Amino acid sequence: MTDHNESINNKSNDTNSNTPGSAPSIQSFTRISEDIEFIQFNECYQKGDLEQSESILLHLIDRYPDEVQLERYQQEIKMQRSLREMSLKHNQETHDKTIKKRLRTTVLFSGVSALAIIVFMVTAVIVFNFASKKISEQNDVQLGIMMSQVEQLLLSGQPVPASQVISKMEALDPEYHLLPDLQKRTNELLDLELKYKESLDFEKRQQYPEALSILIEIEDAKPGLWDIPVRIQSINNQILAQEYYQKAAAAYAVGDWNSVIENYEAALDITYELEDPIKKEQLLNGYLRSIINLLENDSVSIDEISKAEDYYRKAVAMIPQSTAFANERENLQEVSSNLLQLKFAQLARQMLEDPQQTVRSVSQAVSYLSKAKNLSPNNSELQNELINAQLYQIGFQNFVQLNWNPAIDNLKRLVDNDPLFANGNAALLLYDAYVSKGNQNYSVGLYLDARSNYEQAEILAWEDTKNPMKLFQVEYLLGNTIGKVGDYSNAITYYQFSLKPAYIYKQLMVSNEFYSQLPISENFETLINPELTYNQYFDAFSNVHLLFSNQVLEIKDGECLTFFAEENKSTTFAIQTANNLSKNVTVTFGQELKVPTLGN
């Protein structure tokens, strides 16, 4: 607006300077400029209010029609208005263009944004679907794992953990198609678990039939669950044990001690221990009474002895090792120990005296004597008997193995201690050991050693009057051996001694063939030529079997020839020779043998 005023002022100056008669015009304009409306016009014009300025200017023109300056103002205002309208039009066009441009931009942006939103939404849907599928797959995998866990838990009989896993499955997928079946099976197993606990309560109160009924019901519903089969067997055993207890108590009342022991031991096989003191006392008395009954029998067998020993050990084990039961232990040991000791010793002696003894039976006899000695450790007689039995065992074992030197050493020590040990069996073995060792030495030309062996056998043969065959045999063997070292006179003497007993003469009368080979003792040639006489005796005795009578007898497997020969009045050497047997002194297989004897 200042520019506008300056324009008006400049125009006024130009007019005044160029127009003739400018003095009156200046005066006129001065008068107008003082007009209030002109001042208002000027203010409105300066403010740019062209419409108001033009309205005021029209009043001024009407009042001052001749005022050229006002017309100039009017023209200028019109120009300003025209310029303004042009500017407004230009601005409007620019504005419209801007609006259109913005609109296009907005539309383009909106389209791009919409497209972006669409792309985003499509992408989001795709991602969501993919994520949902992925989550669904993961859930399916997890549900599958959980289902396997539930199956395993149900299979192993753990319904509570199975129920917890099922709750987690419901949280993942309430609509999972296998949940109803799993829940049903879990609930059924929970019900069975409650019944199982109920059966345990019955069993704890020893109400076995009730407990068994519930367990059988569970087993029928789900075979093999938990420890049901084992527990059913255990309860059946408990019921059976109770039946045994009842039978044992009934047997005890009538004094049937074998039945008492049988039933209580059958119960112990099931329960492994007796907790009831009354039952313990009854079984202990049963052992004690049975031991006494067994050992008071004079014809007690080995098996019965073993049974009594077994009862004794069991009875001692049942008595607590405390001072409170000292009297019971003392009474039991006093009664049973003495009887067992006696029977062990008796049985051992019987086995050692048995003519059909074997290495095994001798070993068992020594074992029985050792048990007897252990029951009475201060019994010196038993101690000596055990020592002798051990010597006998070693000697007999070496004898059977044909180890003549150790056999002779041990058997000689024994016979020196007790000549009648084992009813003379030790002396019989020693005799055969000397003869066999003598035969061995004779066969290799050790005649002096053989003579010594035969002489020891002769001493033993003189003491055995029941079997003359032994003395006859060892005397003619001495004759053979002594002659081999050139002592023909003594050799002839032994031959003559062997034939001197009356029963030999009787046998010679029967056996003419043997008798005809003997030299005539009154012959002068015999006296001056003893070597010739010896040779005649030697040749005759090489056919000594012609003198014997033979009987065929059966011998059992494993039997010792020494005792078999003694029982039948013969000798081991004679039997071995008559049957072409090896040098073994025991028979491996049972068989029939020719048994040579000196007549009847």
Output the DSSP codes for 5-24. HHHHHHHHHHHHHHSTTHHH
**pLDDT 10s digits, 274-303:** 778 888 888 888 888 888 787 777 677 777
At residue 594, φ and ψ (nearest 5 deg) are -80, 130
Q: Residue 32 burial by CB count (10 A; 0-12/13-18/19+): exposed, middle or buried? A: middle
Amino acid at position 94, single letter: T
Q: Is residue 55 part of a domain?
A: yes
Confidence of residue 329 (pLDDT cuts 50, 70, 90): low
Long-range contacts of 118-127 (CB under 8 A, 24+ apart): none
On whether the CB atoms of residues 548 and 597 are closer than 8 A, the answer is yes
Average of per-residue pLDDT values in the chain: 83
- Residue 385: C-alpha distances to residues 151, 347, 399 (Å): 75, 13, 20
Same domain, 299 and 249: yes
Structural domain of residue 194, as residue ranges?
A: 159-217
Q: Which residue has the higher pLDDT, 399 or 95?
A: 399
Q: Is residue 320 part of a domain?
A: yes
- Residue 416: C-alpha distances to residues 47, 366, 388 (Å): 172, 19, 10
Q: Is residue 212 part of a domain?
A: yes
Confidence of residue 321 (pLDDT cuts 50, 70, 90): low
pLDDT value at residue 477: 97
pLDDT value at residue 13: 45
**pLDDT 10s digits, 431-454:** 999 999 999 999 999 999 999 999
- Residue 422: C-alpha distances to residues 372, 376, 386, 419 (Å): 17, 21, 12, 9
Residue 316: closest CA among 288, 274, 344, 353: 288
Q: Is residue 386 part of a domain?
A: no
pLDDT value at residue 14: 46
Asked whether the whole model's pTM tops 0.85, one would answer no
Q: Is residue 436 part of a domain?
A: no
Confidence of residue 325 (pLDDT cuts 50, 70, 90): low
User: Angle, nearest 10°, between helix axes 425-443 and 447-463?
Assistant: 160
Same domain, 201 and 275: no
**Percent of the chain's residues with pLDDT above 90:** 33
Same domain, 248 and 347: yes
Query: Which segment, 269-273, 513-517, 595-599, is predicted with the most confidence on average?
Result: 595-599
Confidence of residue 7 (pLDDT cuts 50, 70, 90): very low
The residue out of 301, 320, 353 marking a domain boundary is 353
Element (H, E) at 592: strand 591-597
Q: Which residue has the higher pLDDT, 571 or 169?
A: 571
The residue out of 86, 101, 133 marking a domain boundary is 86
Q: Is the pLDDT reported for residue 16 higher than 60?
A: no
On whether the CB atoms of residues 280 and 302 are closer than 8 A, the answer is no
Q: Which residue has the higher pLDDT, 387 or 268?
A: 387
What's the mean pLDDT in 306-331?
70
CA 449 from centroid of its chain's CA atoms: 64
Q: Is the pLDDT reported for residue 332 higher than 70?
A: no
Distance separating alpha carbons of residues 186 and 19, to the nearest angstrom: 124
Same domain, 255 and 295: yes
Q: Is the pLDDT reported for residue 129 higher than 90?
A: no
What's the mean pLDDT in 321-340?
63
* Residue at token pair 């056919």: 543
Same domain, 300 and 344: yes
Same domain, 209 and 270: no
What's the mean pLDDT in 541-558?
90
Element (H, E) at 594: strand 591-597
pLDDT value at residue 312: 81
On whether the CB atoms of residues 514 and 520 are closer than 8 A, the answer is no
Tally the C-alpha atoms within 13 A of residue 46's C-alpha that lie toward its C-beta. Answer: 10
| Overall domain count for the chain | 3
Residue 562: closest CA among 443, 478, 457, 481: 457
Q: Which residue has the higher pLDDT, 323 or 375?
A: 375
Residue 393: closest CA among 359, 367, 425: 359
Same domain, 11 and 67: yes
pLDDT value at residue 149: 87
Residue 283: closest CA among 320, 238, 245, 254: 245
Same domain, 213 and 291: no
* Residue at token pair 């070993």: 363
Name residue 40's beta-bridge partners. Answer: none
Output the DSSP codes for 253-306. HHT-HHHHHHHHHHHHHHHSS---HHHHHHHHHHHHHHHHHHHT-TT--HHHHH
Same domain, 275 and 180: no
Q: Is residue 526 part of a domain?
A: no
Q: Is residue 171 part of a domain?
A: yes
Q: Which residue has the higher pLDDT, 439 or 67?
A: 439
Confidence of residue 238 (pLDDT cuts 50, 70, 90): confident
The residue out of 182, 217, 252 marking a domain boundary is 217
Instruction: Convert 564-595 to b/e letters by CB count within 10 Å (16 or more is b).
Output: bbbebbbbbbbbbebeeeeeebbbeeeeebbb
3-state class of 525 per DSSP? helix
What's the mean pLDDT in 96-115?
77
Same domain, 10 and 78: yes
β-pairing, 549-555 vs 591-597, is antiparallel
Confidence of residue 412 (pLDDT cuts 50, 70, 90): very high
Amino acid at position 126, single letter: I
Q: Is residue 56 part of a domain?
A: yes
Residue 501: closest CA among 531, 475, 530: 475
What's the mean pLDDT in 133-157?
82
pLDDT value at residue 27: 63
On whether the CB atoms of residues 392 and 421 are closer than 8 A, the answer is yes
Residue 379: closest CA among 408, 350, 340: 340
